[in-house]
Structure 1
Amino acid sequence: MLTSSPFKLPDEKYWIFRLLINIEERHFSLEEAAEAARSSIDFDSALRYLSHECPICNEQVSFNKIITMTHCSCAFCEKCFKAHFTTVIKEKSISHVVCPLCNNPDLKKDGNKEDVMEYFNLLDTQIRHYLDPEVHELFQSKLRDKTLMDMPNFRWCANCSFGLLHEASRLRMDCPSCGKSTCFQCRTPWEKQHEGISCEQFKTWKLQNHPEYQANRLARYLSMHGIECPSCGFQFDLSKGGCLHFICSQCQHEFCGGCKRPFKMDSACGFSRECHAKGLHAHHPRNCFYYLRDWDIKRLQQLLNHNRIPYRGSVREGSQMHAEGLCRVLEYKETIHGLTEEQCGQIAPAEYDGLCIKHYKEYLGELINKHAVDPVLLYSKEEMLSELQRWRATIPVLLQGGTEENYVEKLRKKIIAEIRINSGQAVPSSSELYVTSSTEQSAVWSHWQPFFTSS
């Protein structure tokens, strides 16, 4: 037990100090208690000084360890401040370096660039005192990159990490760092066949003539050229284990690889009040692979059969089944040498004609998405009620004397009529799907054909 005044406190402050450290349910450090005693006129004010609860970790900390954000009134403890900004700066883009409580300011929204830079300048002054030097340096590096990327004539080299300013009137952009070239418009590595033709014409030529694509179209579709950023059109690597959340390396746009809907953080979405508690999310339409991947294969096949859309791998009586093999779809895999492109290697059941379960589901989901097939046709009553709630639609009531069967069909018709599966487009009928399916069927089949075993 303390019997002398520590930290050179006068007697009246020392007694406040002793009362603070003897509170059994609190565990103030000696330094915190001394600071509170020194800064307060009595015990009650000293206790208030030490009783600020951090809304993130819920710990009681002293006033001088609470940090208030620069562009909002949110405040939390020094430990949580450091942990949050260290993680965000290391793992996410500069547009996520915002308040962890209210997610303000919205740095992704088009607005006054001067206001955004003012925020970053104030934040830079604040975080430099709390973050490790290497993390603060990374923040400044990412901030410099953002400033450059906001310039309309700035582009990253597609072959190395060098960035440069370029005259937009000339498509070919030569990198002074690696000596290779990039297309200024479509941001892909430059090839001589691009000379004199538009990016769309070059893309069409490459899909039809490039030997690398012809040798293994599906592998390219799944691994390198299957995802195009809906914001800037940049094409980039896809498969890293089935995650549908993508971040464009050029414009930092976040979107779903299954439906191209944007991912938003909490209240930045603005769709409903419930969004503030969802974290990072996207409002995927019901035919997005985000939902279809949870269906079993028989149900996916049933949906395609209902819409008269042919697919490979269906089991027919009397058919001669192939022996099980290994899935040959190429994926990007994490190794000690970084990302490498390797075959999937999972068991490919005979009835899935050369694909593993995961990639066979992806094949069926691709057909469903390409044909704009509405899975509500197979929804149960519970699934339809969930769909209506998800989109904040009015749920019809079951009228007295009405049958369960009629009520289920009423729900189905309401969803088809009011909740469209494609933004801005009405849900096509089954006959329209069948009439327009040949072109889409051919496009999907051209990607997947090399991986199905021959009959």
Structure 2
Amino acid sequence: MACVLAEIKALKRELLSNVRGYGRVVQLEFLDFYSIVVLYCPGQVLLLSLAEDLFMSLMLSPTYWSLQIASCLPPDKAAIFLRLLDMEGPRFSTTDVLEAVHLNRDYPSALKFLTYSCPICQEQVSFSKVITMTHCSCFLCQTCFKTFFSVAIKEKSIDQLVCPQCGRPRIQGHGGMEEAMDYFNLLDTQIRHFLPPQLHELFQRKLRDRALQEMTNFCWCAHCSFGMLHEVDRLRMDCPSCKKSTCSQCRSPWSIHHEGLSCDQFKLWQQQNQPENVQTNTDLSSSSIECPSCQLVFSLSRGGCLHFTCSQCKHQFCGGCSQPFTPGPACSFGSTCASKGLHAHHPRDCLYHLRDWSVTRLHLLLQVTPTWLSHAPGECSVLEFRDSSRKEEEPCGRPAPPTFRGYCQIHYKERLVELINRCRADPVMLFSTEEMVVELQRWNVTVPMRRPDESEPKYTDRLRMVSNTTKWRPAPPSIYY
């Protein structure tokens, strides 16, 4: 209040100092301390114009209108209103202060109303600009809410539209359907109120797709973006959009030879009877991989690491063996895992291990299968992400020696490991003694001691027998070509 009155007095002094030099008695009067200026000086047009300029500056000043608002409030509310506007430090808008005064009984509560700190951007906002999440006690400002959910709706899956602070509710795969729908129904109200209509429509489309995928008999077509409800007891699914057929279980293009055979039996039949199709359909340049948690099939691009994160259920797994990635303290495999970071327990035939083998050694292991790739010397044409900042795949372009069947060394090793996994060849056949010791230790198996009279080859064979009896191989990864 003192600051406001001081500003009025300063304006009075400025008016008087500008009119005294005209040699005429001038009466300058304020009808009250916040209202109209009356200037009596007949014939002094220049002086009148000068006074009008000063008067307009007073009329346009925030202080003038703040005093006008205060005059309409009860005395106790007016005192709180002017005190909040006059305080040092943070500056509040007149609208926010007026709202705080109306909704609170005293100065401390009104000040608290105006000084909520957003935990994300750390900006101070009024309580009316704070949004509380529906399934947790977290809150954030309207700006952060709009920014986060605008980006998430456009770029992420529906299951990632959770609280940006605590990550709740936990929506994973097919679990918690009732809780998820309850959460999304409440979130829908907030999104419709705070975000543009086009983003709300996109949110509803993603919510619809999620509900469809929760249905056990809903399948996506392997040839187009169409999906449909399908008879559970029938493998063949005919798409009414593209008129093509898909296997509803393995999601591969339908073949007449699949009729009457399970998916595993059909893949085995292909390897035995159509090696040319296996050769064509297993090209590294075009393949997809299935999430072992929610069975979502998505495109597999080369050039990255083996750590995959499902865009739908957020399950983290290895692209070479489907083993889950687990934070150290959460892993129950062994006592040594607690000191590790995010890690997976890869079996010995995973690309994670075999990519360090030489091509010659991989060839030796692959001798159990007759499957080979066609010869295409020159440059490797496998599509991969060469730059993480770009969203388009490019041909590899590395040299492809004739002995590598048209692939560069990196992708040729990947191809060989895929063939090794297909024929279930066990790398332990070529393990040295040191490698078998490491293998047993990785799986917490006690390593037999070498007997005094035992030769090196016999000890190696005994270790190999122990390794063969160890349960080391998980379910193979579901990769479709």
TM-score (norm 1): 0.63
Q: Which amino acid aligns with 2:256?
A: K
Report the equivalent of 1:150: 214
Match of 1:416 in 2: 442
Report the 3-state secondary structure (helix = DSSP H, G, I; strand = E; otherwise coil) of the residue aligned with 1:188: coil
The alpha carbon displacement at 1:332 in A equals 7.2
Deviations 1:13-51 (A, max 9, x none): 444344434445324333323322333333322221112
**In structure 1, distance between residues paired with 2:311 and 2:296:** 8
Q: Which amino acid aligns with 1:4?
A: Y
Paired letter, 1:155: C
CA distance in 2 between counterparts of 1:229 and 1:74 reads 31
Residues of 1 paired with 2:439 and 2:305: CA distance? Answer: 32
Corresponding letter in the other structure for 1:69? M
Q: CA deviation at 1:153?
A: 1.2
Is the CA contact 1:157–1:182 (under 8 Å) kept in the aligned structure 2?
Answer: yes
Is 1:73 the equivalent of 2:174?
no
Which whole-Å CA distance do the structure 2 matches of 1:59 and 1:250 have between them? 32
Whole-Å Cα distance in 2 between the matches of residues 230 and 103 of structure 1?
22
Distance 1:289 1:176 in 2: 41
Q: Partner of 1:16 in structure 2?
A: 80
Count residues in correspondence.
363
* Offset at residue 345 of structure 1 (A): 0.7
CA offset digits 1:79-118 (Å, max 9, x no partner): 1122222222222222222112222211116655333222
How much does 1:352 deviate?
8.4
Partners of 2:176 and 2:204 lie apart in 1 by 20
1:90 touches 1:135 (CA, 8 Å); kept in 2? yes
Map 1:39-118 → 2, pairs under 5 A: 39-108=103-172, 111-118=175-182
1:326 aligned residue (356, 376, 379): 379
Matched to 1:431, the amino acid is: R
CA displacement at 1:154 relative to structure 2: 1.1
1:283 paired residue among 334, 338, 343 = 343
In the aligned structure 1, how far is the partner of 2:190 from the partner of 2:440? 52
Q: Could you tell me whether the CA contact under 8 Å between 2:173 and 2:293 is conserved in 1? A: no
> Secondary structure in 2 aligned to 1:100?
coil
After TM superposition, give the deviation of residue 231 of structure 1 in Å.
Answer: 3.7
Match of 1:261 in 2: 323
SS in 2 for 1:99: coil
Counterpart code for 1:344:
C
Q: Give SS of 1:237's match.
A: strand
Question: CA 1:26/1:191 → structure 2, altered by over 3 Å: closer, same or farther?
Answer: same
Q: 1:214 aligns with which of 273, 276, 279?
A: 279
Secondary structure, aligned partner of 2:187: helix
1:339 and 1:66 mapped to 2: Cα distance?
Answer: 39
In the alignment, the residues of structure 2 paired with residue 36 and residue 414 of structure 1 have an alpha-carbon distance, to the nearest angstrom, of: 68
Answering whether residue 287 of structure 2 is matched by residue 224 of structure 1, we say yes
**8 Å Cα contact 2:157-2:311 kept in structure 1:** no
RMSD across aligned C-alpha pairs, in angstroms?
A: 4.7
- In 2, are the aligned partners of 1:93 and 1:252 still within 8 Å (CA)? no
Give matches, 1:127-142, under 5 Å.
Answer: 127-142=191-206
Aligned ranges 1:116-265 → 2 under 5 Å: 116-208=180-272, 209=274, 211-215=276-280, 217=282, 220-221=283-284, 223-225=286-288, 227-231=289-293, 236-246=298-308, 255-262=317-324
**Could you list the runs of 5+ residues in structure 2 that have no partner in the other structure?**
1-60, 333-340, 366-376, 447-460, 477-481
The verdict on how the C-alpha distance between 1:232 and 1:433 changes in structure 2, with shifts beyond 3 A counting, is farther
For residues 434 and 285 of structure 1, do their structure 2 counterparts lie closer, same or farther at Cα, with a shift above 3 Å needed?
A: closer
Distance 2:233 2:107 in 1: 72
Kept in 2: contact 1:292–1:365 (CA 8 A): no
Identity over aligned residues, as a percent?
47
Distance in 2 (CA, whole Å) between partners of 1:291 and 1:80 is 42
Q: Is the 8 A contact 2:156 2:311 kept in 1?
A: no
Matched residue SS, 1:155? strand
Indicate conservation of the 8 Å contact 1:255/1:282, yes or no: no
The one-letter amino acid paired with 2:63 is T
Contact 2:172-2:314 within 8 A present in 1 as well:
no
Structure 1: tracts of 5 or more residues without a match: 273-280, 313-323, 379-408, 421-427, 444-455
